[in-house]
A and B are shown apart, each in its own frame.
Chain A
Amino acid sequence: AQTVTQSQPEMSVQEAETVTLSCTYDTSESDYYLFWYKQPPSRQMILVIRQEAYKQQNATENRFSVNFQKAAKSFSLKISDSQLGDAAMYFCAYRTDSGGGADGLTFGKGTHLIIQP
């Protein structure tokens, strides 16, 4: 079974600074998908960014980018120019590409990101 580990229960960053959230995962599969979801206090789950394992290029979405190291099974999220609205729980998630198509996400335990004004 796949596991996802987020080793930082909480991170704090000054507004406008850059912060990196770490995520490692364990899998024996070669094809899979990785996601970062954000959960603000409203508790709505919001997709931040996704990465296909077969793509070597790191995904980028505006101020959010990932550092995907497939051999190291690492998938960190970098948030540049942090804003107050970025304060939330961030979850790293794994999804197999076994072909079943109805696979659930395997989540890490989350990192609580605090933005200091």
Chain B
Amino acid sequence: DTAVSQTPKYLVTQMGNDKSIKCEQNLGHDTMYWYKQDSKKFLKIMFSYNNKELIINETVPNRFSPKSPDKAHLNLHINSLELGDSAVYFCASSPYRQSYNEQFFGPGTRLTVL
């Protein structure tokens, strides 16, 4: 059983399109995250959600909108895709209020914008 899953694993699309990435975790965690890994492999937090509530919203363009229908799911919708959005997007989860716990990462979604 996959602990944190993401769909799709690969996404190729044209500039200006709107796309979504889905994330699901079956670990019973309360907190979920989105990270972006750029072409130089640098990982940066984008959002965190706790029990469907937005906690962290780093300086990410408004074109990115996370949505958490329930605490096991955190989706990322991206409007008007730009070339600079090409990256690998990771979803992660962890128990709430237990900072010493690791964050469990999904397999990543490689987004390529042409």
Contacts and interface: CB of A to CB of B under 8 A. Distances in A.
- A, B: real partners: yes
B114 interface: no
Interface residues of A, number: 27
B31 A107 contact: no
Interface residues of B, number: 29
Interface in B27-46: 31, 33, 35, 40-45
Interface in B60-114: 88, 90, 92, 96-100, 102-103, 105, 107-108, 110
A117 interface: no
Contacts of B99: 32-33, 95-97, 101, 103
B105 A44 contact: yes
Interface in A53-107: 89, 91, 95-97, 99-107
Contacts of B107: 42-44
Contacts of B88: 43
A45 B90 contact: yes
B108 A101 contact: no
A99 B108 contact: no
